[in-house]
Amino acid sequence: MPIHDHTPSPRGRAFLLGGILLGLLLVAALFTNGFGLFAGHKKAAAEAAAMVRQGDKIVIPEGSPLRERLTVMAASEQEVSARLMLPGVVEAEPSRTAAVLSPLSGRLLELKVALGERVTRGQVLAVIDSPDLAQAYDDNDKAADSFALTQKNLERQQGQAGIGAASDRDLDQARSDHAQAAAEYARTQAHLHALGASPDTRHGARQLLVRAPVGGSITSLSVAPGNMINDPTQPMMTIADLSTVWVTALVAEKDLASVSRNQDADVDLSAYPGQPLHGKVLFVADVVEPDSRRNKIRIAFTNPDYRLKPNMFATVTLQGPKRSQVMLPSSALLMNNDRTSVFVATAPWTFERRTVQLQLEEGASVAIDSGVKAGEQVVVKGGVLLND
């Protein structure tokens, strides 16, 4: 009998090998998907067993592992004092700040103070050679001479009238001339006193002395020796008495209802950390600033050692009146679509989500303005497990 060779051809062997590989791949895919589906069903079953959603409520069934991971406590009610933190700055008190003006024009001969120097009231600040002052002295000299002349004439007429040698008309004229001369002399002397000049000053020393109207520190200086003072309304320098200063804070419109005069205030300065100042609101502006849309308040502080310097930055904290407020641990708060919410128990192990409005934060606790009432049971730990 002829012997048949059953050995597959090379092409047949390749086809057989491909079939075997395809079968192995199908078996592997079946096992993988089968186990994956089984694991997914197992996880879904576990979640279904852990909590059950009934509308907008979440029920934690008995035996659920979530019961051991959730902490629930009653919302407490405490008396808290609302705090308002505001940006502020140290300022010189306007009533203690004076612009130094020259009463007359002229050339500045000598400047006797420097920027930042402390001066006393009445101290000479500058010496000015003023033609207007020279004219005032000339007017006073003429008035003094006229007064002396009319005085002698009046005495002469009175003497002659006593012996019947003068008429009443001449005596009346002498009295009128003397009264007018006296009035003019008084006017020129008052003018010199208003300029800070003495009528008795010798001719060679008749210079305008500019004196400090108040005691304090030279905070600005705009002249130098040799300058012409042509505009008497332009300040030569500014003096600020810094023994008392203001801390001015800006209050937003939405917070104006929380601010009042004589309210307690704490001031923290960047220059002196850990050394707060305690005071009371002295002034609340009646007008909102048009550019910043904020209201100004001021707190006054004595400054005997000049530690508080104008333009220092400060943080002002206002203490509001105490009131009862619902308090919760901050761990109870959850963020949900840009809203802050908590889970509140409406029945044993039944919770609903509530949106809350926060009032203020006190350390690890938060004051709740609305959304939760005192005594209600709130999830304070593990609430994220109930979150969507």
pLDDT digits (tens, 9 = 90+) for 325-361: 899 999 999 987 788 999 999 999 999 999 998 876 7
What's the whole-number mean pLDDT along residues 151-157? 88
- For residue range 85-142, list pLDDT tens digits in order: 899 999 999 889 999 999 888 999 999 999 999 999 999 999 999 888 888 888 888 9
| Percent of residues, the chain, with pLDDT higher than 70 | 84
pLDDT of amino acid 45? 45
Mean pLDDT for the stretch of residues 304-331? 88
Scanning the structure block, which residue is given the tokens 């003495």?
198
pLDDT at 212: 94
Confidence of residue 296 (pLDDT cuts 50, 70, 90): very high
pLDDT above 90 as % of the chain? 47
- Residue 306 backbone class (left: φ over 0; alpha: ψ -120 to 50; beta: rest): left
Q: Which residues contact 198 (CB under 8 A, 6 or more apart)?
A: 192
pLDDT of residue 78: 84
When pLDDT is averaged across residues 72-95 and rounded to a whole number, the result is 87
- Non-local (6+) Cβ contacts of 287 within 8 A are 295
Within the chain, how many helices (H) and strands (E) appear?
3, 23
In the chain, what are the domain boundaries?
Answer: 52-80+324-385, 85-94+240-322, 97-125+211-237, 131-206
Alpha carbon dihedral 100, 103, 108, 114, in 10-degree steps, equals: -10
Q: What is the pLDDT of residue 165?
A: 72
Mean pLDDT of 7-36: 51
pLDDT confidence of residue 127 = 93
CA-to-CA dists, residue 289 to 248, 294, 297, 311, 318, angstroms:
13, 5, 11, 19, 20
Could you tell me where the DSSP H helices lie in the chain? 10-50, 131-162, 168-194
Neighbours of 12 (CB within 10 A): 10
Query: How many Å apart are CA 214 and CA 73, to the nearest integer?
Result: 65
Average pLDDT score over the chain: 84
- Residue 309: HSE in the Cβ half-sphere, 13 Å Cα cutoff: 9
Query: In sequence order, what are the residues at sequence separation of 6 or more whose Cβ sits closer than 8 angstroms to the Cβ of residue 186?
Result: none
- Per the structure block, which two tokens stand in for 195? 């300029």
pLDDT score recorded for residue 199: 78
DSSP-based three-state secondary structure for 326: strand
CATH architecture for segment(s) 97-125+211-237: Beta Barrel (2.40)
- 52-80+324-385: which CATH architecture? Beta Barrel (2.40)
Mean pLDDT within 58-77: 90
pLDDT band at 4 (very low <50, low <70, confident <90, very high): very low
Contact 250, 294 (CB under 8 A): yes
pLDDT tens by residue, 43-54: 444 444 688 888
Please tell me the predicted confidence (pLDDT) of residue 46: 47
Phi and psi angles of residue 233, each rounded to the nearest 5 degrees, phi first: -90, -5
pLDDT of 271 over the 50 cut: yes
Rounded distance between C-alpha atoms, residue 188 and residue 201, angstroms? 14
Query: Residues 128-155, buried b or exposed e (16+ Cβ, 10 A)?
Result: bebeebbebbebbeebbebbeebeebbe
**Residue 17 in this model has a pLDDT that exceeds 90:** no
- CATH architecture label of 85-94+240-322: Beta Barrel (2.40)
Residue 183 carries which side chain, given as an amino acid letter? Answer: A
Q: Nearest 5°: CA angle at 106, between 105 and 112?
A: 110
Map tokens 């001031």 to a residue: 267
Q: Cα separation of 187 and 177, whole Å?
A: 15
Q: Report the pLDDT value the prediction gives residue 154, as an integer from 0 to 100.
A: 87
CATH level 3 topology of 131-206: Helix Hairpins (1.10.287)
What pLDDT is attached to residue 1?
A: 38
Task: Check residue 386 and give its pLDDT.
Answer: 86
Q: How far apart are CA 318 and CA 264, in angstroms?
A: 6
Quote the pLDDT of residue 79.
78
3-state DSSP call for residue 170? helix
As a whole number of angstroms, the distance between CA 150 and CA 158 comes to: 12
What is the rounded CA–CA span in Å between residue 342 and residue 359? 15
Q: Which of 333, 340, 336 is nearest to 357 (CA)?
A: 340
Query: Are the beta carbons of 341 and 353 closer than 8 angstroms?
Result: yes
Give how far the C-alpha of residue 288 lies from the chain's centroid of Cα atoms, to the nearest Å: 14
pLDDT in tens, 210-251: 999 999 999 999 999 999 988 888 999 999 999 999 999 999
Closest CA to 303 of 260, 347, 269, 252: 269
Whether the pLDDT of residue 30 is over 50: the answer is: no
Q: What are phi and psi of 319, to 5 degrees?
A: -100, 115
Q: How far apart are CA 169 and CA 150, in angstroms?
A: 15
